[in-house]
């Protein structure tokens, strides 16, 4: 990756600036601390990978601006690319990826930020972690590669060497080897089953011959029973015909008997009704006289009912007027009592008010004391107004101090919980590894079952195809049997003709053709039963295969879940190393918080403000207790003010009472006079007297009316008897006519019944000539049905045996083919197993890393010797003895340790000074970058060194500059960043950065 042009807008300390890298080979970015030198390099990493030193992307936006934009153009793999990344404050960022064409830049942007980012990584073939561990020595992180664990160092080298493609090939080879192994094991188990089945062939052939002999004997017996059955069924049909005729005649005889009984009953009922009507007609004179008396009584009762209604109306009016008069009298009495009560209540009120007015002197003295207490309270209220803001400020500061303490305590509790959680997570790491091994074993088992399921599916498809062929044969045989049956029926009729030449057939030729056609039909019938048996067996096999396939599908259901679980578990194992670092950071932060809480060294500015406010409160000398006593004094004398208001109100009430007493007395006298007039001369009283006179004129007597009603109820029965007499006169002639008709019909029905009785005797004689053959027919049919079942069983058995023999022939061919497949699969399994080992981390990958490490070590020592004057030496170790290795047998484990030696011997990296450590880091990183730049196909063509020179003396700086110039020819662009004047003078090309009020500015010096 070779930078060409960088354009910034509102990025960190820059407002708008452009840096053109064309023509730059080795350049120094210089300027004061905080001027924005490293921001140029952070802009490149943010534009390409979306990562930089800022915790949040909003922190990248220049202060006061709303958005940020970085436009970076670079050359990579003979192509020019352009990346534009921008972001609005508070929103998600956007990313644009372009490629240069003869017509300008063409967009390659995918749908979504993540897809576009993956496309950029695909083109540059370099991720962020690999970049900062090789070509970019970040400020303060020059030891990035040295501080990584050995496994992480190997992974960085593997990524730079593009060894991930071998890992992909290894995984593919492993998957194929497992697949070939599973297929071979499945075929071997299938071969064993086929061998056992082939051993059954000879026994099946003997069983087929015996079954064929038994089948012929059963067919002969079946033909004899069938002829006997036809004769018995003919006799049964003739008897059934006479039985049906007998049943019909008996039903007619029974119907005539029932009709004769019904006619006898109707005649008896009609004669009874005739006698009843004659008795009623004999009493005609008596009923007519009683009915006339009833009508007279009914007219008298209607006259008394009219007087009763008039008398009731008069009494109702009298009651209403009486109620109105009583109501008016009650209202006047109520008003008189209320007026008298008001007059009586005024007297005690007048006495009470006069007694209250005698205490007015004591109340005046208490009012003066209340005024003095209120004056003192007003002074204290004013003082409280001056003190209240100070107290509120003090309460707010105290609350803020308490919140700070609570927040720190909560953070301490959170750290304790995180520490316990991380410790528990570390403790569960061995169990997690065991779980991973179990999941891998389960996945391997399910993969074998998956291969076997595929074989079951293929076998099911083959059986299904065979079943369809059998069904087609069955339909063809059915059609042929139907045609032959029709041909035989045509030949059995009289004057039959030859089906070929249409000539009449004599008896001899007819029997010959029938026999030949029957033989052909029987052969096709046998083949038909064989096909049916094969269909039955095929269906059973398909059912077994479906059940087996369903069971395998159920067992394979958790396969995808196990794959996902394996990925999650492996990710958790990889994250275990980060847990140790997090646990250390949490422990340090926890110690600092505990020290702050115990010593009280938090929120010191708030504690200072609280002390100042306490001194101000002491100067004002405000006492809340004194203020409360003053309020109590005012409350104690406040009754005088209330009592004074009551005295004034009592004086007004007394004057009002003296005005009301004469008015109430006059009102009482007027009400008494109105009551007397209402009871003597009022209109209501005169109306009541008139209604009394009207009731006397009506003269209604209730006893006389009740006696008349009783007599009318007794005479009401004559009305009913008169109605019965009228009906009897109307229905008597009709009953006489109906009785004659019923007698004639009965005589006719009795003659018909005698005729049917004679027919029944003749039918019974005919039935005696035909015996009942139902039991014989039933027994014979059961024997035929049982023999039919035996025939079907033997035919099915013959079909099964024939199909089994065919299957065994097919299995023999299949056995030979599968033997060849097993040999091929085993060979493929061994080949891919070796390929998986070769492509694995311990194969080609390890070999390539081990081949490049001597070159890396030699290049590092060459650069380090120039930087330190041959004082330091680096050794890279790829294997070391394990921790549990015994004295007799030492076990070596793979590693990537870097040993550093000086004149005093080999010692840990951490014991070297800052200047020495930087030289070591710089030498290793520079050697790694140079080595990768020399390899064919790599895209690493830029080297960045950010600060770190401040730890070097003058001689060390000269050696660093010499080392950079020595490798300059291996890189297309080398950028160094420093704030040291003596260091920047060593470079002819400088990019000077200055910080102004308008933001950081750039100037290029060549």
- Residue 486's alpha-carbon distances to 165, 167, 219, 482, in angstroms, are 76, 76, 22, 6
DSSP state letters, 297-341: HHHHHHHHHHHHHHHHHHHHHHHHHHHHHHHHHHHHHHHHHHHHH
Query: Rounded to whole angstroms, how far apart are CA atoms 486 and 505?
Result: 17
Among 180, 191, 187, 189, residue whose Cα is nearest residue 447 = 180
Query: Rounded to whole angstroms, how far apart are CA atoms 112 and 109?
Result: 8
Q: What is the dihedral of CA 710, 711, 716, 722, to 10 degrees?
A: 180
Hey, where are the domains in the chain? 2-163+844-1005, 237-284+728-772, 438-515+551-570, 773-839
Give yes or no for a contact between 789 and 224, defined as CB atoms under 8 angstroms apart: no
DSSP state letters, 18-57: EEE-TT-SEEEEEESTTSSHHHHHHHHHHHHHS--S-SSG
Domain 2-163+844-1005 is of which CATH architecture? 3-Layer(aba) Sandwich (3.40)
Cβ contacts of 68 within 8 Å, gap of 6 or more: 9, 10, 11, 60, 61, 62, 86, 87
Query: Rounded to whole angstroms, how far apart are CA atoms 422 and 412?
Result: 15
Among 54, 77, 55, 70, residue whose Cα is nearest residue 17 = 70
Give the pLDDT confidence score for residue 497 in this predicted structure: 59
Query: Rounded to whole angstroms, how far apart are CA atoms 496 and 489?
Result: 10
Helices 429-492 and 559-574, packing angle to 10 deg:
170
Q: What is the 3-state secondary structure (H, E, C) of 342-408?
A: HHHHHHHHHHHHHHHHHHHHHHHHHHHHHHHHHHHHHHHHHHHHHHHHHHHHHHHHHHHHHHHHHHH
Give yes or no for a contact between 123 and 77, defined as CB atoms under 8 angstroms apart: yes
Give the pLDDT confidence score for residue 936 in this predicted structure: 40
Residues of the chain scoring pLDDT < 50: 885-889, 936-937
Give the pLDDT confidence score for residue 69 in this predicted structure: 92
Q: What is the dihedral of CA 344, 350, 353, 357, to 10 degrees?
A: -170
Give yes or no for a contact between 280 and 724, defined as CB atoms under 8 angstroms apart: yes
Give the pLDDT confidence score for residue 450 in this predicted structure: 80
Q: What percent of the chain has pLDDT over 90?
A: 2
Phi, psi of 23 (to 5 degrees): 90, -5
Helices (H) and strands (E) in the chain, counts: 22, 15
Sheet-wide strand order for 999-1005: 136-137, 942-946, 973-978, 26-31, 989-996, 999-1005
Diameter of the chain by CA atoms? 169
Give the pLDDT confidence score for residue 937 in this predicted structure: 45
Query: Rounded to whole angstroms, how far apart are CA atoms 867 and 919?
Result: 7
Give yes or no for a contact between 810 and 190, defined as CB atoms under 8 angstroms apart: no
Residue 604 burial by Cβ neighbours in a 10 Å radius (0-12, 13-18, 19+): exposed
Query: Rounded to whole angstroms, how far apart are CA atoms 214 and 790?
Result: 10
Residue ranges of the annotated binding site for Zn(2+) are 498, 501
Cβ contacts of 364 within 8 Å, gap of 6 or more: 644
Residue ranges of the annotated binding site are 498, 501
Copy the structure tokens of residue 174: 């492993």
Give the pLDDT confidence score for residue 967 in this predicted structure: 67
Give the pLDDT confidence score for residue 509 in this predicted structure: 67
Give the pLDDT confidence score for residue 850 in this predicted structure: 75
């Amino acid at each position: 990756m070779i930078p060409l042009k960088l354009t910034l807008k509102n990025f960190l300390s820059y407002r708008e600036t452009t840096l053109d890298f064309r023509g730059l080979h080795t350049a120094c970015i210089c300027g004061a601390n905080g001027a924005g030198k490293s921001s140029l390099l952070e802009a490149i990493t943010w534009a390409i990978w979306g990562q930089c030193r800022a915790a949040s992307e909003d922190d990248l936006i220049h202060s006061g601006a709303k958005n940020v934009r970085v436009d970076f153009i670079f050359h990579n793999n003979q192509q020019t690319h352009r990346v534009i990344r921008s972001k609005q404050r508070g929103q998600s960022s956007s990313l644009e990826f372009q490629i240069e064409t003869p017509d300008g830049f063409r967009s390659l942007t995918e749908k979504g930020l993540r897809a576009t980012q993956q496309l950029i990584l695909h083109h540059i073939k370099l991720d962020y972690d690999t970049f900062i561990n090789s070509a970019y020595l970040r400020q303060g992180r020059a030891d990035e590669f040295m501080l990584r664990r050995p496994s992480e160092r190997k992974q960085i080298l593997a990524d730079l060497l593009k060894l991930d493609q071998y890992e992909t090939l290894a995984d593919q080879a492993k998957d194929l080897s497992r697949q070939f192994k599973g297929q071979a094991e499945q075929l071997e188990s299938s071969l064993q089953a086929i061998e056992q089945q082939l051993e059954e062939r000879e026994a099946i052939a003997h069983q087929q011959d015996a079954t064929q002999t038994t089948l012929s004997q059963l067919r002969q017996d079946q033909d004899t029973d069938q002829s006997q059955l036809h004769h018995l069924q003919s006799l049964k049909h003739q008897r059934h015909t006479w039985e049906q005729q007998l049943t019909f005649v008996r039903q007619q005889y029974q119907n005539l008997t029932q009709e004769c009984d019904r006619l006898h009953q109707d005649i008896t009922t009609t004669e009874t009704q005739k006698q009843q009507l004659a008795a009623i007609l004999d009493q005609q004179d008596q009923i007519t006289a009683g009915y006339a008396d009833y009508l007279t009584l009914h007219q008298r009762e209607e006259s008394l009912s009219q007087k009763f209604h008039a008398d009731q109306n008069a009494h109702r009016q009298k009651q209403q007027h009486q109620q109105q008069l009583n109501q008016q009298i009650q209202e006047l009495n109520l008003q008189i009592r209320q007026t008298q009560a008001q007059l009586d209540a005024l007297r005690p009120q007048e006495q009470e008010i006069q007694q209250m007015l005698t205490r007015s002197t004591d109340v005046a003295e208490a009012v003066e004391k209340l005024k003095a207490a209120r004056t003192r309270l007003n002074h204290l209220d004013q003082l409280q107004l001056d003190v209240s803001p100070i107290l509120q400020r003090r309460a707010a500061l105290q609350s803020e101090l308490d919140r700070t303490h609570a927040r720190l305590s909560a953070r301490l509790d959170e750290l304790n919980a995180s520490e316990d959680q991380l410790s528990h997570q570390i403790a569960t790491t061995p169990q997690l590894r065991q779980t991973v091994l179990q999941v891998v074993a389960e996945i391997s088992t399910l993969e074998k079952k998956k291969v076997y399921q595929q074989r079951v599916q293929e076998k099911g498809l083959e059986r299904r195809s065979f079943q369809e062929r059998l069904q087609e044969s069955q339909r063809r045989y059915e059609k042929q049997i139907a045609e032959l049956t029709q041909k035989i029926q045509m030949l059995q009729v009289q004057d039959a003709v030859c089906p070929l030449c249409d000539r009449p057939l004599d008896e001899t030729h007819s029997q010959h053709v029938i026999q030949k056609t029957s033989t052909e039909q029987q052969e096709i019938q046998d083949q038909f039963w064989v096909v049916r048996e094969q269909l039955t067996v095929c269906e059973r096999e398909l059912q077994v295969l479906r059940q087996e396939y369903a069971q395998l599908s159920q067992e394979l259901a958790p396969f995808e879940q196990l794959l996902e679980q394996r990925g999650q578990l492996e990710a958790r194992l990889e994250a275990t190393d980060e847990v140790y670092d997090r646990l250390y950071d949490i422990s340090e932060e926890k110690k600092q918080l505990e020290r702050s809480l115990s010593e009280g060294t938090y929120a010191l500015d708030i504690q200072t403000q609280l002390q100042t406010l306490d001194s101000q409160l002491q100067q004002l000398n405000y006492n809340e207790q004194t203020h409360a006593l003053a309020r109590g004094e005012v409350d104690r004398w406040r009754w005088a003010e209330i009592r004074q208001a009551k005295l004034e109100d009592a004086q007004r009430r007394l004057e009002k009472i003296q005005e009301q007493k004469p008015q109430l007395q006059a009102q009482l006298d007027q009400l008494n006079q109105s009551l007397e007039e209402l009871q003597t001369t009022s209109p209501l009283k005169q109306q009541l007297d008139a209604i009394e006179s009207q009731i006397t004129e009506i003269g209604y007597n209730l006893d006389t009316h009740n006696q008349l009603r009783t007599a009318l109820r007794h005479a009401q029965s004559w009305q009913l008897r008169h109605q019965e007499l009228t009906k009897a006169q109307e229905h008597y002639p009709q009953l006489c006519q109906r009785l004659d008709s019923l007698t004639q019909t009965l005589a006719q029905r009795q003659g018909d019944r005698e005729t049917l009785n004679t027919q029944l005797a003749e039918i019974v004689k005919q039935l005696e000539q035909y015996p009942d053959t139902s039991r014989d027919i039933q027994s014979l049919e059961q024997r035929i049905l049982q023999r039919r079942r035996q025939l079907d069983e033997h035919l099915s058995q013959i079909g099964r045996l024939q199909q089994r023999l065919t299957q065994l022939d097919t299995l023999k061919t299949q056995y030979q083919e599968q033997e060849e497949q097993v040999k091929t699969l085993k060979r493929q399994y061994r080949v891919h197993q070796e390929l998986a080992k070769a492509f694995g981390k311990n194969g080609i990958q390890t070999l390539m890393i081990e081949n490049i490490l001597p070159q890396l070590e030699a290049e590092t020592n060459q650069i380090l010797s120039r930087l330190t004057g041959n004082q330091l030496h680096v050794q890279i170790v790829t294997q070391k003895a394990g921790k549990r290795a015994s004295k007799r047998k030492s076990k070596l484990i793979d590693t990537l340790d870097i040993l550093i030696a000086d004149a005093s011997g080999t010692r840990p990296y951490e014991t070297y000074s800052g200047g020495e450590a930087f030289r070591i880091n710089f030498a290793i990183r520079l050697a790694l970058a140079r080595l990768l730049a020399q390899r064919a196909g790599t895209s690493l063509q830029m080297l960045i060194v950010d600060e770190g020179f401040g730890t070097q003396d003058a001689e060390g700086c000269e050696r660093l500059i010499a080392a950079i110039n020595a490798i300059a020819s291996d890189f297309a662009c080398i950028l160094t960043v420093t704030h040291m004047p003596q260091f920047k003078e060593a470079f002819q090309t400088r990019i000077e950065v200055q910080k102004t009020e308008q933001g950081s500015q750039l100037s290029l010096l060549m």
